[in-house]
Structure 1
Amino acid sequence: MSAENTASARRHSPFGRQQETGPRATVRQLLPYLFEKRGLLAVVIVLSVLGAGASLAQPLLVSQVITQVQDGALLGPLVWLLVALVVVAGLLTAFQHYLLQRMGEGVVLSSRRRLVARMLRLPIAEFDARRTGDLVSRVGADTTMLRAVLTQGLVEAVGGTLTFVGALVGMAVLDPVLLGLTLLVVFTAIGLVLGLSGRIRRASAEAQAKVGDLAAAVERAVSAIRTVRAANATEREAQGIDRDAVGAYRAGLKVARVSALIMPVASIAMQVAFLTVIGVGGFRVASGAIEIASLVAFILFLFMMIMPLGQAIGAVSAVNQALGALGRIQEIIDIPGEQEGDADLAARAADPIDTDDAVRFDDVRFAYPEAVVAAVTDGDEPMADAADREVLRGVSFGAVKGQRTALVGPSGAGKSTILALIERFYDPTGGSVRLDGVDLRSLDRERLRSLIGYVEQDAPVLAGTLRENLLLGSPDASDADCVRVLHEVNLGSVLERDAAGLDAAVGEDGVMLSGGERQRLAIARALLAAPPILLLDESTSSLDGRNEQAMREALDAVAEHRTLIVIAHRLSTVVDSDRIVVLEQGRVVGVGTHSELVQSTPLYRDLAKHQLLV
């Protein structure tokens, strides 16, 4: 399977609806996100303690107010103190809520930064094996779930715990008998919550995965909307997206059902505890065991104890949902970045050799990873072993410095894969690829790619302006340099037709440009960087004869003192190359000039005949 076939299949395949929801995260993995805002966290905890103290003092004051009413004493100071405590508790709660929201947004921001930083550094194989929409969903929907941990979860539970413990102490002092009955109800509720918490985490992880499926389906259809419309496939695509939406809906209902079993627990526990206290407490007041003031205070403490219980139940639900989303986030963060796998390969790389070749392939073998193959085939085909999956089978050739080397052959021969190995998007599974005699596996990828200009077969144009596209690989280039390379690739007319010039918008995926203009813009971007090696994958396939000739002249001009490796199906664009490498089924079947290959290589001769070149 060649890279071009891989790319094509990825554009048109739903990539095997992955049912796995990914590894589940633990609370230990969640804590670093909370501790990133240590200062705010400390302030919130202090506010929680103060708020708990202000709340716990209120039942005691109410008890004293009732006692003084019974004794006929003045109430002024106590009433004003009680009002002050209520106001202070409200203000502390409001400020704490604001800080929690601020912390929550900070956690979402830091998690998104961390996830994006890792995602953009993943090995290319991960992008080939995963769906773009699902990755986008992890950055958007999954990171948002972490906010609930702060706004509805762990931090509020700190103040709630203090209030819960304080209420227990107050209730124990007032009436141990009533406290015992209350605790029986409370512990029963806690047992039910703990039994259901694991189900919430699993259901939440599944729901987030279904949202990822939906995002991937929408991204697939929107990115190819013109093709979908032209093929009259709008209704079929809509039905496919609808199925994913229904899947997300059903997964969300599953979370709702489990949550519905948990949320009433607090309400039922409160009602049962309240009725028990009223009934038994009223009997104890009538019997003279306790005073009415103590019963009122006990009931107030009961409400203060039940409220944190409800918060704790909400925290369990929120944390378990967040852990389901965090598992999907951590799955990406835990994947080693592209550079992290270099150390061992560099240690095994062969020693440098003296050579006239800018790039050298020595008995190179390569098979795409199983995950990539499974994604492309939608998981429907039995997985072949590595030997049967090989795309390159002992490829050896050299691209001489300062010369033009062309790669030709039928589709699927492995031409684009060769360029991918030179760029180190993948490393060979056997043999070696060398740059100036040095094994690529011993070179830093960033340094390597700074020496290479690469124009893909379907070179993307980024949404934005002409200038932004040109400066992608050469951020310090001047406007004059940008204008120069645009004229070199015959794109001067694009500058002239829009008064904005270099600031002219190209639209999403370059929709404001024709196919040939998009291709020439990609080539201009590579020429602007002026690297010593240029890799061109079907760089003139979308050009008409006039622009193809202009492009060849531009490439001839920049090719001086540079090494070009060009892939072409149209042999007319490469017949004057210094060296032509003919590939078939992952093997080199001929190397030479056009005239030599016509005489020596049957496959090349057939290709030339079909294109009327012999």
Structure 2
Amino acid sequence: MRRVFGIFSASTAIVVALSLIAAAGTAGLVIVLGEGLDELMAGRRLGAPWYFSAFGELLITTVATFLIPVVISHHTQELTEHHRTKLLKHYLSIGPLAVRNAGEGELVHAAMDSVERSVKYRSSFIGPAVSAVATPVLILCFIAFAIDPLSALLMLIPTALVPVVVLGFQQRFGSSNGEYRRAQGILSATFLDALRSLGMLKLNGGSQWMGKRIRQATERVRQQVMKLLARNQLILLVIDSSFAVLLLSSAALLAWWRAGTGAITPGAAMSLVILSFLMLAPVNYVGSFFYIGMTGKAAEKKLTEIAEIPMHRSMANPLHVDLRHRDLILDKVSASYDNEHHALSGVTWHFPAGSRTAIIGPSGSGKTTLLRVLQGQLEATGGSIRDAHQAMGSATLKANTAVVEQQATLFGLSLRENLLLGAPKAGDEDLIEVLQEVGMGSWLAQQPGGLDERLGESGARLSGGQAQRISLARALLAQRPILLLDEPTSALDVQTEEEVLQTLRAINRSTTVITVTHRLGLLADYDYVLVMDQGQLIQAGDREELLAAEGYLKEAMDGFRQRTAALHTSSPAQPGEEN
């Protein structure tokens, strides 16, 4: 956002200027009213010039007052979009590993709540606060030049105390906002964990445990909010007692004294008292919105800390490797989510270029973890991943892999925009060709919007199979040498599954395909099988060789065939039989 004098934005400067213009117009109107009172008390009629002056001052005040919220509203929208876009770009630039290390829940909270509070502070607080501090000075100038210089000089004394008192309380209570911000971050992270784990919590009876955690986090936030509100009320009380009473009583005494000595007219005395009220109103505004100021500064401090999170090394420039013609080699690879417990331990295998490899094993065996390491979303804590010539880090792995997850990730954008995420420079012909390749050509022909057809939030207008095939089309469009599939057909019906499998079988043999699956019946499409258990590779090799040898895969396939045979040989219930 463009700044003026390096302090605040141009919109804030406009708000300050309009606020001062409105204050000047109001002060001018009060002085004109005082002059009118003097004319009436002297028995003279008010002439046309007086009415023109009063109308002019009223018009200036009205227009300026009307424009202030318009400018603030426009500035709020612009600033919100700017900050959230900037924050999102920062999250993307530092990489998912840095986001995970910093705490996803806290960063989501920052993008929503902290940005909102910062924007309120910048657009709705700073401008009015600056004008509130400047307005008493402006009013004193009107008093000095239009009413009585001595009265203005004496009223300067209580006015000068206000910024000192306000800033003192701000420094005294500003540090307490850190506790509130941390409590909000913990609540957001806890709630995000609960949303991600709803199914698991329900199946494992953990709903009460998670509910207790959320209640505790909510209670901490409530306590911090109550502390902030209490301090805000204390500030209001101090401002009212130290400034309002003192200023109004001083103005009343000065008006009585100076009018009694004949130094000012009765109309000027009335104007002096009314203007003291105008000096008080902006300061009350600062007190009323002091909560926004405190929480806004805390939010800006948090956003500054996030902006200083460095880019993870996985986002560095990738190495140039040729994985279409070279094998991908894992040498004693280990990985951990918490740097304490190994999710992978000593995995060694090489994926021949253009091969088809299935990764199987019981739930929690490390299959998905291995896939995350291969796609550069989780760093290996031990061993190496390389081709025939050099080791590769997360950045190189990400540049050479395309991923299709169990649940297709689609956005509430057009079909074209969703596909271009995989290849931003692809043309419409490329998009149509890849859609036909995954069996979505006939569906596309039926859409009135064509490639501009909106998919709905998270692809809500698509069936599960359609969403999965579009996700696959996006991955193929990226033209990466390695395609990683995480249970790509687990949520599909039999017919849709077969359609997706036919698409996968037709993938060019220059692409290495690595698939995590629980479905043993799909292994016929794969050259190699890796069997994982407790983070270790317990069996690996050519599919036919493993099926012929004793071990997990042979036992699992024998059991699978027996269950299949039992289903085929079981006779259906005859009409009239009881089940």
TM over 0.5: yes
Following the alignment from structure 2 to structure 1, what is the Cα–Cα distance between the partners of residues 65 and 527? Answer: 77
Amino acid paired to 1:260: Q
Whether the 8 Å CA contact 2:13–2:127 is kept in 1: the answer is no
* RMSD of Structure 2 on Structure 1 (CA): 5.0
Deviations 1:345-387 (A, max 9, x none): x7xx8x979996332223333222x4xxxxxxxxxxxxxxx3x
Counterpart for residue 292 of structure 2: 318
Amino acid paired to 1:144: E
Counterpart for residue 563 of structure 1: 512
Following the alignment from structure 2 to structure 1, what is the Cα–Cα distance between the partners of residues 343 and 152? Answer: 77
Q: Give the stretch that moved more between structures: 230-239 or 52-61.
A: 230-239
Counterpart for residue 577 of structure 1: 526
Deviations 1:490-542 (A, max 9, x none): x7897899999988887655566665665455445434555432112233444
Q: Give the stretch that moved more between structures: 516-525 or 398-407.
A: 516-525
Whether the 8 Å CA contact 1:405–1:580 is kept in 2: the answer is yes
The TM-score normalised by the length of structure 1 is: 0.71
Deviation at 1:98, TM superposition (A): 2.4
Following the alignment from structure 1 to structure 2, what is the Cα–Cα distance between the partners of residues 473 and 395? Answer: 30
CA change 1:508–1:234 in 2 (3 A) is farther
Q: Choose which of 266, 269, 286 in structure 2 pairs with 1:295.
A: 269
Whether the 8 Å CA contact 1:52–1:163 is kept in 2: the answer is yes
- In structure 1, runs of 5+ residues without a counterpart are 1-29, 371-385
Q: Secondary structure at the match of 1:153?
A: helix
Deviation at 1:228, TM superposition (A): 9.4
The answer on 1:118 being equivalent to 2:90 is yes
Following the alignment from structure 2 to structure 1, what is the Cα–Cα distance between the partners of residues 4 and 557? Answer: 62
Q: Choose which of 227, 233, 249 in structure 2 pairs with 1:275.
A: 249
Following the alignment from structure 1 to structure 2, what is the Cα–Cα distance between the partners of residues 415 and 533? Answer: 17
Following the alignment from structure 2 to structure 1, what is the Cα–Cα distance between the partners of residues 345 and 188? Answer: 39
CA change 1:198–1:423 in 2 (3 A) is farther
CA change 1:407–1:295 in 2 (3 A) is same
Counterpart for residue 308 of structure 1: 282
Counterpart for residue 257 of structure 1: 230
Deviation at 1:455, TM superposition (A): 1.5
CA change 1:304–1:533 in 2 (3 A) is same
Q: Choose which of 83, 86, 89 in structure 1 pairs with 2:58.
A: 86
Identity in percent:
23
Q: Give the stretch that moved more between structures: 146-155 or 462-471.
A: 462-471
Counterpart for residue 572 of structure 2: none
Following the alignment from structure 2 to structure 1, what is the Cα–Cα distance between the partners of residues 19 and 3? Answer: 21
1:149-160 matches, cutoff 5 A: 149-150=121-122, 152-160=124-132
Amino acid paired to 2:248: F
Deviation at 1:249, TM superposition (A): 6.1
Counterpart for residue 476 of structure 1: 427
Deviations 1:297-333 (A, max 9, x none): 4324422322332244346443222223334444544
CA change 1:239–1:499 in 2 (3 A) is farther
Counterpart for residue 115 of structure 2: 143
Whether the 8 Å CA contact 2:255–2:270 is kept in 1: the answer is no
CA change 1:501–1:340 in 2 (3 A) is closer
CA change 1:555–1:308 in 2 (3 A) is closer
Amino acid paired to 2:273: I
Following the alignment from structure 2 to structure 1, what is the Cα–Cα distance between the partners of residues 35 and 388? Answer: 90
Whether the 8 Å CA contact 2:483–2:513 is kept in 1: the answer is yes
The answer on 1:342 being equivalent to 2:316 is yes
Following the alignment from structure 1 to structure 2, what is the Cα–Cα distance between the partners of residues 79 and 544? Answer: 82
Deviations 1:280-307 (A, max 9, x none): 6425644667664553343244223223
Counterpart for residue 420 of structure 1: 372
Deviations 1:30-56 (A, max 9, x none): 996997985444544444554454445
The answer on 1:399 being equivalent to 2:372 is no
1:60-139 matches, cutoff 5 A: 61=32, 76=47, 77-78=49-50, 80-125=52-97, 128=100, 137-139=109-111
Counterpart for residue 164 of structure 1: 136
Deviations 1:88-123 (A, max 9, x none): 233233234422332232222211221233344453
Following the alignment from structure 2 to structure 1, what is the Cα–Cα distance between the partners of residues 321 and 124? Answer: 59
CA change 1:395–1:235 in 2 (3 A) is closer
Deviations 1:151-202 (A, max 9, x none): 5422223433433223345657836578547734872785267326654774
Aligned residues: 556
Q: Secondary structure at the match of 1:558?
A: coil
Q: Give the stretch that moved more between structures: 145-154 or 492-501.
A: 492-501
Deviations 1:257-291 (A, max 9, x none): 33333335555432443234324642564466766
Whether the 8 Å CA contact 2:485–2:515 is kept in 1: the answer is yes
CA change 1:506–1:293 in 2 (3 A) is closer
CA change 1:430–1:601 in 2 (3 A) is farther
Q: Secondary structure at the match of 2:488?
A: coil
Counterpart for residue 594 of structure 1: 543
Deviation at 1:423, TM superposition (A): 1.8
Q: Secondary structure at the match of 1:107?
A: helix
Following the alignment from structure 1 to structure 2, what is the Cα–Cα distance between the partners of residues 296 and 578? Answer: 96
Q: Give the stretch that moved more between structures: 265-274 or 180-189.
A: 180-189
The answer on 1:364 being equivalent to 2:336 is no
Counterpart for residue 481 of structure 2: 532
Counterpart for residue 13 of structure 1: none
Q: Secondary structure at the match of 1:534?
A: strand
CA change 1:176–1:227 in 2 (3 A) is same
Q: Secondary structure at the match of 2:380?
A: coil
Q: Which structure carries more relative contact order (alpha carbon 8 Å, separation 6+)?
A: 1
Q: Choose which of 183, 188, 197 in structure 1 pairs with 2:157.
A: 183
Q: Give the stretch that moved more between structures: 464-473 or 409-418.
A: 464-473
Deviations 1:558-581 (A, max 9, x none): 142321222233344235633333
Q: Secondary structure at the match of 1:539?
A: coil
Following the alignment from structure 1 to structure 2, what is the Cα–Cα distance between the partners of residues 353 and 340? Answer: 19
